[in-house]
Structure 1
Amino acid sequence: MKSYTIAEINAVINGVVLGNTSNEINAPEQLEKATIHNISFIGNRKYAKLWSSSKASVAVIDKKIALEPGENRALIQVESADLAMAQILGFFNPGMPILDEEIHPSAVVHISAKLGANVHLGANCYIGKNVTIGDGTTIYPNVTVMDDSTIGMGCTIWSGTVIRERTIIGHQCIFHTNVSIGSDGFGFRPSPDGRGLVKIPQIGNVVIGNGVEIGANSCVDRGKFSSTIIGDGTKIDNLVQIGHNSILGRSCIMAGHSGLAGSVTLGDGVIIGGSASIKDHTTLHSGVTVGAGSGVMGDVAAGKTVLGYPACDSRDMLKQWVALRKLGKGA
């Protein structure tokens, strides 16, 4: 395990060092669990009180937080401890697993598939007819890419992922374990005789932009016709459902267990909290924030924050909760 001095670490984040320590740092850790060889982070005043009892030798703190470093300890002041933490975590990152061979002998690659330079395929991958994979993409073991799909350059696709036919994926995307891209959308109607359900064919595809990251066990359904679209830079957590023909703008965020029904449209920069659900054929315009656990039943104007079930303006919902609490106390 490699260790670094405080000067070497500060060279990465360019902060202001207060105090000093002779202890070298070999890993980042949260304040409560840290040892003398750890660096930690304080981005909120409510955690500042933990510094005195922490064993960490170094902490990165927001400039707005006033703290004394203490004996043989140091603080590094930065504009944003969260952003500095991202840099430091990258600095200490041990790296991803390395595939020893570019194409594992057990991988099945159709003769018509086109693989770019420095593409790596792990064991038991399947690459179908007319698939194109861009330079520098790594596909870990047990991934399936079906016919006529395109994957851009520099992507990382983790084990268990299935990419169905005709999917189009941009550059620098990351799909974590067991992601499902392009499964049939959920479309059924009662049969004329009333004795069952008629499946509506889903013949569209999925189009994913550049720099998209999709968490483990999340699903993006193909369009009934046309495409389900995910815009550049969008980040999707684990266990998220995106219904058929939904369109997500640039740099949206969807937290775990949230879901979009079919034909939902998100503008740019929409943030959806964990376990929130969005009704079909609903539009959330750019900059909307949806609180965790909320149920959105209708369109939401740009820049609004909504909360609750059914969701409404967050300020109105908070007033309702306060009123209900008062009623409960008066009962």
Structure 2
Amino acid sequence: MITKSFSINEINSILKGDIVGHYSGQIIGPENIESAKASQITFIGNKKFEKKWINSKASVAVVNRDVSIEPGEKRAFIKVDNADLAMSQILSIFALPLAEVKNEQHATAVVDSTAIIGKGVKIGAGSYIGPRVIIGDYCVIYPNVTILDDCEIGNNNVFWSGVVVRERTVIGSNCIFHPNVSIGADGFGYRPSPEFGLVKIPHIGNVVIGDWVEIGANSCVDRGKFSSTVIGTGCKIDNLVQIGHNSILGKFCIMAGNSGLAGSVTLGDGVIIGGSASIKDHSVIGNGAVIGAGSGVTGDVAAGVTMLGYPALEARDTLKQWAIMKRFLKDSYK
């Protein structure tokens, strides 16, 4: 296995922080503050973790500039403006190479004769590229990916094994789709019928995805009933997320694991949706709104508002309710 190590000065040349204390050895990798061992680097991005430093075996910590403790003997801090962002830089330099797709097109891959494949594209074993598909330059398609008819895909995208991209999907550039993502499956739509019980509503639209989007494993983005389901540029979608038909996400939205949008939900720019939260159909969530984990949103949410609870209310109201309920329960047991 490939291993990496760096001096504290080499790491700081990337972070451009200020070194406090002294550590002369090599740094062999990053680790959380509780589990770190000697020669490892850790992070203190919040003052509540400062008390853990004294018992940590890490040799170096990246810390915010307002840290109130000292590194101690033969240990060092690298002070930066934002320790969490610095962590992403350090993780990048210690990251090992990804799995390779060595052939431009594996012998067992099936690529339709009408597909247009850009330069430098790699297509892994068992993958299928359908009729009239257009794939831009330098995409990596891992084994057993399916991209169906008439899809248009930009440059530098990565499709991990098991991804299915249904017909007529449009994808921008620099996106990552993790294993078993489903893009463009039928939306969930049925109507009662005296004769047939439930009649399936056809979904004849598509999915449009912007640039720099990342979608986690086993997540689903359903096609529009009419027109398009839209995922805006820079959105980051966690694992096991459901995005219903004709939903529209603005730019740089975040959806954490097990959260879901019903059909025709609209998110503004920079919306954050916590894990296991659910949003009712046709709701509009304004720019910069935050939906707390486990919340159930049943209507529109104004820009910048934080919602919490089930059903969701503004966070301050929910917290007041919880405090009253806590006192009530405590009194009832007296």
Instruction: Mark yes or no: TM-score above 0.5.
Output: yes
Per the normalisation by structure 1, the TM-score is: 0.98
- Structure 1 position 177, deviation (Å): 0.6
Q: 1:60 aligns with which of 53, 59, 62?
A: 62
Q: Does 1:276 align with 2:277?
A: yes
Q: 2:137 aligns with which of 127, 135, 138?
A: 135
Q: Which residue does 1:32 correspond to in 2?
A: 34
**How far apart, in 1, do the equivalents of 2:157 and 2:213 lie?**
9
- Structure 1 position 198, deviation (Å): 0.4
Range that drifts further, 216-225 or 47-56: 47-56
AA at the equivalent of 2:111: V
SS at match of 1:220: strand
**How far apart, in 2, do the equivalents of 1:135 and 1:96 lie?**
19
**How far apart, in 2, do the equivalents of 1:173 and 1:321 lie?**
41
AA at the equivalent of 1:301: A
State, as a whole percentage, how many aligned pairs show the same letter.
62
Whether the 8 Å contact between 1:23 and 1:36 is mirrored in structure 2 is no
- Structure 1 position 29, deviation (Å): 0.6
**Structure 1 residues 97-136: aligned runs within 5 Å:** 97-136=99-138
Q: Which residue does 1:262 correspond to in 2?
A: 263
Deviations 1:141-181 (A, max 9, x none): 10000000011101111000000000000000000010000
Range that drifts further, 14-23 or 288-297: 14-23
AA at the equivalent of 2:74: N
SS at match of 1:41: strand
Deviations 1:279-309 (A, max 9, x none): 0011001111000000000001111111111
Q: Which residue does 1:158 correspond to in 2?
A: 160
Deviations 1:11-70 (A, max 9, x none): 110111001112201111111111112110011111111111111111000111112111
Deviations 1:105-158 (A, max 9, x none): 111000000111100111100000000111011011100000000111011110
**How far apart, in 2, do the equivalents of 1:306 and 1:99 lie?**
44
Whether the 8 Å contact between 1:38 and 1:56 is mirrored in structure 2 is yes
Q: Which residue does 1:252 correspond to in 2?
A: 253
Deviations 1:194-225 (A, max 9, x none): x5210011111000000000000000000011
SS at match of 1:326: helix
Per the normalisation by structure 2, the TM-score is: 0.97
Q: Deviation above 4 Å: which 4+ runs of structure 1? A: none
**How far apart, in 1, do the equivalents of 2:49 and 2:153 lie?**
43
Q: 1:69 aligns with which of 71, 94, 109?
A: 71
Q: Which residue does 1:237 correspond to in 2?
A: 238
Q: Does 1:314 align with 2:320?
A: no
SS at match of 2:310: coil
**How far apart, in 2, do the equivalents of 1:302 and 1:69 lie?**
42
- Structure 1 position 95, deviation (Å): 2.2
Q: Which residue does 2:306 correspond to in 1?
A: 305
SS at match of 2:63: strand
Q: 1:7 aligns with which of 9, 19, 22?
A: 9
Whether the 8 Å contact between 1:147 and 1:165 is mirrored in structure 2 is yes
Q: Which residue does 2:193 correspond to in 1?
A: 191
Task: Calculate the aligned-residue CA RMSD, in Å.
Answer: 0.8
**How far apart, in 1, do the equivalents of 2:225 and 2:283 lie?**
17
**How far apart, in 1, do the equivalents of 2:5 and 2:192 lie?**
65
Whether the 8 Å contact between 1:211 and 1:234 is mirrored in structure 2 is yes
**Structure 1 residues 221-232: aligned runs within 5 Å:** 221-232=222-233
- Structure 1 position 191, deviation (Å): 1.3
SS at match of 1:33: coil
Whether the 8 Å contact between 1:305 and 1:313 is mirrored in structure 2 is yes
